[in-house]
Amino acid sequence: MGSEDRLTNAERYERGMKTLVEMVGEEGAQTIGNIGAFFPDMAHQIVSFGFGDLYSRKTLDLKQREIITITSLITQGATEQLPFHVHAALNVGLTPEEILEIVLHCAGYAGFPKACGALNVVGEVFKARNITPVTA
């Protein structure tokens, strides 16, 4: 049993908020605040489990975790969560070109409709951030 197993709920939440803010800034905290105003238990779970337990683990870095998350969202067709994670991916060091490559790669495994839906979302995030990717 590692020290990770002995954290209190408050410590998990605190660690999760620190990781969330590192990934997406204060906007992430505001998003959680909005969720919490409607359903506090859900907000707590997102922060404590999602960011305090999963994203804060040491074996993978935040870039690797965002690659996994973006891939998972694309394969599920869960584009409503994709903007948050594309912003986070850019913030933790993924390049626009790497994100586009993830979308392209997913087309081969999840299908072009899901990849094209994701590409629309990625394009909107890039537009909002004034990003013009360098494509080969």
Q: Locate the domains of the chain by residue range.
A: 8-57, 60-135
Q: What is the CA radius of gyration of the chain?
A: 16
Tell me how far apart the alpha carbons of residues 89 and 25 are, in angstroms, rounded to a whole number.
12
Taking the domain 60-135, which CATH number applies? Answer: 1.20.1290.10
Largest Cα–Cα separation, the chain: 48
Would the pLDDT of 5 be above 80? no
Would the pLDDT of 1 be above 60? no
Tell me how far apart the alpha carbons of residues 27 and 62 are, in angstroms, rounded to a whole number.
18
Query: pLDDT tens, 13-24?
Result: 999 999 999 999
DSSP the chain: --GGGG--HHHHHHHHHHHHHHHHTHHHHHHHHHHHHH-HHHHHHIIIIIIIIITT-SSS-HHHHHHHHHHHHHHHT-TTSHHHHHHHHHHTT--HHHHHHHHHHHHHHH-HHHHHHHHHHHHHHHHHTT------
Query: pLDDT tens, 74-117?
Result: 999 999 999 999 999 999 999 999 999 999 999 999 999 999 99
